């Protein structure tokens, strides 16, 4: 779920919800998805009144093309959602609703989860979606030969075994309690493949995986589009879908249009009815002319990890000083406008369940405090350039970042602003852009290779804290701990939070963990990763983004004039 | 690779004459051997450069499969290293690679999991269509402009050569976006993205053709004007030949020789330009495949595409040689 190359989002339930039912329910759910913003210029309620039509093709301009349909990258979650069903779906901030699993229960010791499956569901190749099929998927995801790294990041440490009790009863055994399990399962990475298709050679699985979802892959014209056709017998929609039957449209044309100007132009000229990722310069027009669905990515927000194992950030005073020295709120507003929000909490984004809002202003811009802290830390003299020094060495940190991938053009503007601000307190920041090869190659990701690095991790649960902040130990490495901050107490707190089902106790523990990360200034919160759709409502209605990853859902959508 | 290609190019007529005197079978053999040599050099060069660049290939593969950018543990890397043979010595890996090549197996893409030959065969169509349409368009534009304006009064001539100077320097990205905004988004004469038919080809081909036309036009015009001063042109006019006839039949024939030579080189330039055009107009094609493969260090795919480009170069230069003889029959007679 890590989503380095692309944004994601979360909440746009408004359209669906309104349609789904009465005002009471709507009010309830809206409260539930509070933090994750969804904006729609047109009232969604008229969709409820309008009657869906059948037929036609949805023309959708997406941005990035994944190497294979399914996998562990957010781009793969997006596209997987069209083809696969999952066990459960998530609504708003953490409410779980039935999908393939109609009911579930967990044993007292929280080690055995039992799922009742919807009977009679078939994959599009004819295989039955039964308990054996679900088990085959878990086996596949965690087999070292075919491992899905994102699935493993969530449940690898917890998973013990699984078995088919009978055709419609699936049982999961865990090694230790894991309360975020259902949230994790709601993500597209956990989409269920037909058992026969899992035995196909890798090249076939890559381009033509088989699911039971609302669409079937007809053809992938690499470099251009994936052509989906509707699954005419679809009968296994999640409870939160408005349309419980087969998709209204005949086809879905999912195109890859990387260039922002081209993508936007394809919407304004009517070539496409819906596009992904509104370019930041076009936000105003998008809001005025189109329906905008904005998804504020839950999970780890875009944060600056500070490498606590080497100077200068091995000194907590220097870490705090940098946080105080940066007017992050103003800088984020300047750089992004509507395209992202400031997120001061360095541990969780504001759309995540169990997010602690009290940490939002833990380090409000205060250059005096920054100067005082740096003086205390011994960086009290300055060189000719106005940079602080200690023992003759200048106070300098290298921030490396994935240019054009983790950090887009707006993000780079932000970093440059922060660089200027740091200079005001005599802190020299060097910005080092990394190419994709450098970024993915690992040689720039070691404890000695950088001082600070921005990054994020899209996740529908605070359980992501365990992925990001678990210690990085010799026998149990964790490369996702990009601050290299090893804190047994923190790991224990998060582990306890992940193992309790009591909501209040869980909130207290997750808050404690977030506070610890913030107090230690092991990372500095920057902004929420945001993704968006712009939809031409004169042509297309009822597209929404589900809430685990911001996966676009097209099975409810219908064309005004098919 | 580029040296070999340059050697193939029949630029100085003396060398061309010399080569033409070689006996035909020997000539063919030399050609084939040098073509194979170019391909081998391209494959080897790409293989080693991609293999020794910093950054661990197994880490790249795992990180890209999961969208993460972290350091990986030995336990995670082991299965990948084993599957792709990254633990073997470089020489062993190179041996496997060459053995595969000889058997016509370009390998399987690390990232896309597909055989490289499948990917290339899917993507080569749109790329060849784009580059050859652009080349043809560039020729049409440059010849029309030269014939119509060279030595046709100061104003026409300097406007046209000014156009050539300016367009030759236009960056593809800039030109592509301008054409897109004006003709596809504002005027809506053409599709914004993904047009597969003829209409969808116009703007992408023009984006590549316009700068190349400016470049070809410059060299053609210079030669064209020089030819118009030749005595045989004066004698043709004296025979009562029309001005257009003189220009097309006599002057043009001489003037296009340098442009033909350059076209072999231009194909390569068009290919790199195609990367940008594919991005702007959201077209399929080898350009984007190559860029993605190179940033992923997907060695089999990068090598496959590079060898294909080398092959196109070799073939293009063979065609250039042949065209030379057609346009200037003296070369053929010398054989």
Taking only the tens place, the pLDDT of each residue in B9-66 is 444 555 555 555 556 677 778 888 888 898 899 889 988 888 888 778 888 888 887 7
Both A524 and A541 in one domain: the answer is no
Q: Say how far apart CA A522 and CA A489 lie, in whole Å.
A: 14
Both A274 and A343 in one domain: the answer is no
B276 CA to chain A: closest CA distance, Å? 10
Both A283 and A371 in one domain: the answer is no
What is the model's pLDDT at position B1? 37
**Does residue A255 lie in a domain region?**
yes
Both A143 and A224 in one domain: the answer is yes
What is the model's pLDDT at position B15? 57
Both A539 and A522 in one domain: the answer is no
Q: Which residues contact B264 (CB under 8 A, 6 or more apart)?
A: B5, B9, B313, B316, B317, B319, B320
Closest Cα to residue B218, out of B263, B161, B256? B161
Both A386 and A510 in one domain: the answer is yes
Both A353 and A454 in one domain: the answer is yes
Q: Do B184 and A4 touch (CB under 8 A)?
A: no
pLDDT in tens, A354-388: 999 999 999 999 999 999 999 999 999 999 999 99
Q: Which residue has the higher pLDDT, B240 or A19?
A: B240
**Does residue A7 lie in a domain region?**
no
Phi/psi zone of residue A378: left (φ > 0), alpha (ψ -120 to 50 degrees), beta? left
- Provide the 10 A C-beta neighbour count for residue B318: 14
pLDDT in tens, B84-143: 888 899 999 999 989 988 888 888 998 899 999 999 999 999 999 999 999 999 999 999
C-beta separation of A353 from A94 below 8 A: yes
**Does residue A4 lie in a domain region?**
no
What is the model's pLDDT at position A24? 36
CATH code of the domain covering residue A480 = 3.10.105.10
Q: Is the minimum CB–CB distance between A438 and chain B shorter than 8 Å?
A: yes
What is the model's pLDDT at position A49? 62
C-beta separation of B189 from B183 below 8 A: yes
Q: Say how far apart CA A343 and CA A414 lie, in whole Å.
A: 13
Both A554 and A524 in one domain: the answer is no
Average pLDDT score over chain B: 84
Collect contacts of A95-102 with beta carbons under 8 A, ≥24 apart: A95/A29, A95/A32, A96/A182, A96/A183, A96/A186, A97/A238, A97/A239, A97/A240, A98/A238, A98/A239, A99/A186, A99/A236, A99/A237, A99/A238, A99/A239, A100/A129, A100/A134, A100/A192, A100/A212, A100/A236, A101/A170
Asked if the model's pLDDT at residue B273 lies above 50, the reply is yes
Q: Do B192 and A262 touch (CB under 8 A)?
A: yes
- Lowest mean pLDDT, pick from A216-220, A394-398, B206-210, B239-243: B239-243
Q: Which residues of chain A make contact with B65, given a CB cutoff of 8 A? A: 67, 71-73, 148-149
C-beta separation of A2 from A150 below 8 A: yes
- Provide the 10 A C-beta neighbour count for residue A524: 24
In chain A, the number of structural domains is: 2
pLDDT in tens, B307-326: 888 888 888 888 888 888 77
Both A345 and A204 in one domain: the answer is no
ipTM of the complex: 0.83
- Tokens encoding A311: 């100077």
- B281 secondary structure, DSSP code: T
Range of the domain at A390: 299-528
Which residues of chain A carry a pLDDT beneath 50? 1-45
Q: Which residues of chain A make contact with B51, given a CB cutoff of 8 A? A: none
Q: Which residues of chain A make contact with B66, given a CB cutoff of 8 A? A: 2, 71-73, 148-150, 153
**Does residue A8 lie in a domain region?**
no
Both A372 and A506 in one domain: the answer is yes
**Does residue A22 lie in a domain region?**
yes
Q: Do B66 and A261 touch (CB under 8 A)?
A: no
Q: Choosing among B60, B66, B81, B129, which should be mutated to test the A contact, i.e. which has the most A CBs within 10 A?
A: B66
What is the model's pLDDT at position B9? 45
Q: Do B72 and A479 touch (CB under 8 A)?
A: yes
- Tokens encoding A400: 């490396």
**Does residue A500 lie in a domain region?**
yes
Please identify which residue in the block is written with the tokens 């930041």.
Answer: A280
Peptide bond into B246 cis (omega under 30): no
Both A388 and A437 in one domain: the answer is yes
Nearest CA in chain B to A482: B70
Both A455 and A375 in one domain: the answer is yes
| Torsion angle of C-alpha atoms B75, B76, B80, B86, degrees rounded to 10 | -60
Per-residue CA distances from A319 to A82, A96, A523, B66 (Å): 44, 38, 8, 30
Question: Of all residues in chain B, what percent carry a pLDDT higher than 90?
Answer: 28
Q: Say how far apart CA A183 and CA A94 lie, in whole Å.
A: 7
**Does residue A1 lie in a domain region?**
no
Q: Say how far apart CA A343 and CA A302 lie, in whole Å.
A: 8
**Does residue A282 lie in a domain region?**
yes
Q: Say how far apart CA A305 and CA A307 lie, in whole Å.
A: 6
B95 CA to chain A: closest CA distance, Å? 24
What is the model's pLDDT at position B28? 76
Q: Which residues of chain B make contact with A266, given a CB cutoff of 8 A? A: 192-193
In the Cβ-directed half-sphere of A70, how many Cα atoms lie within 13 Å?
Answer: 33
Q: Is the minimum CB–CB distance between A461 and chain B shorter than 8 Å?
A: no
What is the model's pLDDT at position B8? 45
CATH code of the domain covering residue A267 = 3.40.190.10
Q: Do A479 and B71 touch (CB under 8 A)?
A: yes
Q: Choosing among A79, A152, A220, A224, which should be mutated to test the B contact, i.e. which has the most B CBs within 10 A?
A: A224
């Amino acid at each position: 779920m890590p989503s380095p190359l692309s944004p994601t989002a979360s909440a746009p339930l408004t359209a669906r919800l309104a349609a789904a039912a009465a005002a009471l329910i709507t009010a309830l759910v809206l409260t539930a998805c509070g933090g994750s913003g969804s904006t729609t210029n047109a009232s969604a309620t008229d969709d409820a009144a309008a009657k869906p039509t059948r037929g036609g093709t949805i023309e959708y301009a997406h941005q990035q093309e994944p190497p294979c349909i399914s996998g562990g990258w957010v781009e793969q979650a997006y596209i997987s959602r069209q083809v696969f069903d999952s066990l459960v779906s998530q609504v708003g901030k953490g409410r779980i609703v039935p999908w393939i699993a109609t009911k579930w229960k967990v044993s007292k010791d929280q080690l055995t989860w039992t799922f009742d499956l919807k009977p009679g569901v078939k994959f599009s190749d004819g295989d039955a979606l039964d308990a054996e099929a679900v088990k085959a998927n878990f086996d596949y995801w965690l087999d070292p030969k075919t491992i899905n790294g994102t699935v493993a990041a969530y449940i690898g440490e917890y998973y013990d075994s699984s078995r088919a009790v009978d055709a419609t009863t699936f049982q999961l055994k865990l090694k230790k309690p894991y309360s975020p399990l259902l949230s994790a399962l709601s993500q597209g990475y956990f989409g269920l493949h037909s058992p026969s298709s899992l035995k196909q050679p890798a090249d076939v699985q890559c381009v033509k995986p088989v699911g039971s979802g609302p669409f079937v892959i007809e053809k992938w014209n690499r470099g251009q589009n994936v052509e989906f056709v509707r699954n005419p017998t679809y009968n296994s929609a999640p409870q939160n879908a408005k349309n419980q039957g087969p998709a209204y449209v005949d086809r879905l044309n999912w195109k890859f249009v990387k260039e922002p100007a081209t993508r936007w132009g394809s919407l304004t000229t009517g070539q496409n009815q819906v596009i992904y990722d509104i370019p930041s310069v076009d936000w105003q027009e998008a809001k005025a002319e189109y329906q905008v669905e904005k998804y504020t990515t839950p999970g780890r927000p875009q944060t600056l990890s500070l490498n606590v194992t080497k100077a200068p950030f091995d000194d907590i005073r220097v870490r705090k000083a940098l946080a105080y020295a940066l007017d992050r709120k103003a800088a984020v507003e300047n750089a992004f406008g509507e395209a992202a929000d400031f997120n001061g909490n360095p541990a969780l984004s504001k759309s995540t369940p169990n997010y602690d809002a009290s940490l939002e202003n833990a380090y409000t811009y205060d250059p005096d405090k920054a100067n005082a802290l740096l003086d205390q830390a011994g960086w009290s003299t300055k060189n000719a350039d106005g940079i602080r020094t200690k023992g003759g060495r200048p106070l300098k940190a290298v921030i490396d970042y994935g240019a054009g991938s983790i950090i887009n053009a707006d993000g780079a503007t932000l970093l440059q602003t922060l660089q200027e601000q740091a200079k005001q307190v005599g802190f020299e920041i060097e910005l080092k852009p990394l190419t994709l090869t450098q970024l993915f190659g690992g040689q720039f990701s070691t404890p000695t290779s950088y001082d600070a690095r921005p990054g994020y991790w899209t996740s529908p649960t605070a359980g992501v804290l365990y992925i990001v902040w678990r210690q990085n130990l010799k026998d149990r490495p964790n490369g996702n701990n990009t601050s290299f901050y090893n804190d047994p107490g923190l790991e224990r707190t998060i582990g306890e939070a992940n193992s309790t089902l009591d909501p209040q106790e869980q909130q207290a523990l997750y808050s404690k963990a977030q506070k610890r990360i913030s107090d230690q200034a092991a990372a500095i919160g920057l902004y929420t990763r945001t993704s968006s759709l712009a939809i031409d409502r004169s042509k297309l209605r009822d597209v929404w983004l589900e809430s685990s990853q911001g996966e676009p859902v097209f099975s409810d959508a219908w064309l005004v004039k098919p | 690779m580029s040296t070999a290609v340059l050697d193939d190019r029949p630029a100085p007529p003396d060398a061309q004459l010399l080569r033409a005197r070689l006996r035909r079978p020997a000539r063919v053999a030399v050609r084939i051997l040098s073509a194979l040599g170019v391909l081998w050099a391209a494959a080897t060069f790409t293989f080693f450069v991609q293999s020794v660049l910093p950054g661990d290939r197994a880490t790249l593969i795992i990180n890209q499969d999961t969208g993460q950018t972290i350091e990986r543990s030995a336990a995670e890397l082991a299965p990948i290293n084993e599957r792709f043979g990254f633990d073997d010595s470089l020489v062993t890996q190179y041996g496997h690679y060459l053995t595969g090549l000889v058997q016509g197996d370009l390998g399987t893409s690390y990232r896309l999991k597909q055989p490289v030959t499948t990917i290339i065969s899917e993507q080569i169509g749109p790329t060849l269509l784009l580059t050859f349409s652009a080349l043809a368009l560039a020729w049409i534009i440059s010849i029309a402009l030269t014939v119509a304006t060279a030595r046709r009064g100061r104003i026409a001539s300097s406007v046209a050569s000014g156009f050539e100077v300016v367009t030759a320097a236009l960056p593809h990205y800039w030109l592509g976006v301008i054409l897109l905004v004006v003709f596809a988004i504002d005027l809506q004469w053409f599709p914004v993205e993904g047009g597969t038919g003829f209409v969808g080809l116009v703007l992408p081909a023009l984006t590549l053709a316009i700068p190349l036309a400016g470049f070809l036009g410059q060299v053609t015009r210079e030669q064209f004007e020089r030819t118009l001063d030749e005595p045989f042109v004066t004698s043709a006019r004296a025979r009562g030949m029309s001005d257009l006839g003189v220009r097309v039949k006599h002057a043009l024939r001489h003037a296009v020789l340098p442009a033909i030579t350059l076209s072999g080189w231009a194909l390569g330039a068009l290919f790199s330009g195609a990367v940008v055009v594919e991005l702007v107009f959201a077209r399929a094609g080898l350009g984007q495949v190559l860029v993605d493969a190179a940033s992923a260090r997907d060695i089999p795919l990068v090598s496959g595409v590079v060898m294909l480009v080398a092959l196109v170069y070799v073939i293009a230069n063979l065609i250039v040689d042949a065209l030379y003889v057609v346009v200037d029959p003296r070369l053929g007679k010398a054989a």
